[in-house]
């Protein structure tokens, strides 16, 4: 026989989500800043590389046409 659930499914979900959030080990402020800067620098380097490739390919196509 199926187990009968008590209460609202939404409140049951929120209680479960809250209990899972209490188990999370949050990073320190220093660790968060360090990882944020890594992401920012990687994104900038990637943008510069893509911009350089775009510029080179644009020059090649312009000279061919």
Report d(CA 18, CA 21) in Å as an integer: 5
Rounded mean pLDDT of 30-40?
97
Q: How far is CA 58 from CA 33, 35, 46, 51, 55, in A?
A: 37, 34, 18, 10, 5
**pLDDT at position 4:** 59
Q: Dihedral sign, CA of 53, 56, 62, 65?
A: negative
Q: What is the pLDDT of residues 5-29, one digit of tens each?
A: 667 889 999 999 999 999 999 999 9
**pLDDT at position 3:** 57
Q: What is the pLDDT of residues 42-63, one digit of tens each?
A: 999 999 999 999 999 999 999 9
């Amino acid at each position: 026989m199926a187990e009968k659930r008590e209460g609202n499914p939404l409140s049951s979900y929120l209680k479960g989500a809250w209990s899972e959030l209490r188990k999370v080990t949050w990073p320190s402020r220093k660790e968060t800043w360090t990882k944020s800067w890594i992401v920012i620098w990687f994104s900038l380097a990637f943008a510069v590389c893509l911009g350089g490739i775009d510029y080179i390919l644009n020059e090649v196509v312009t000279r061919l046409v």
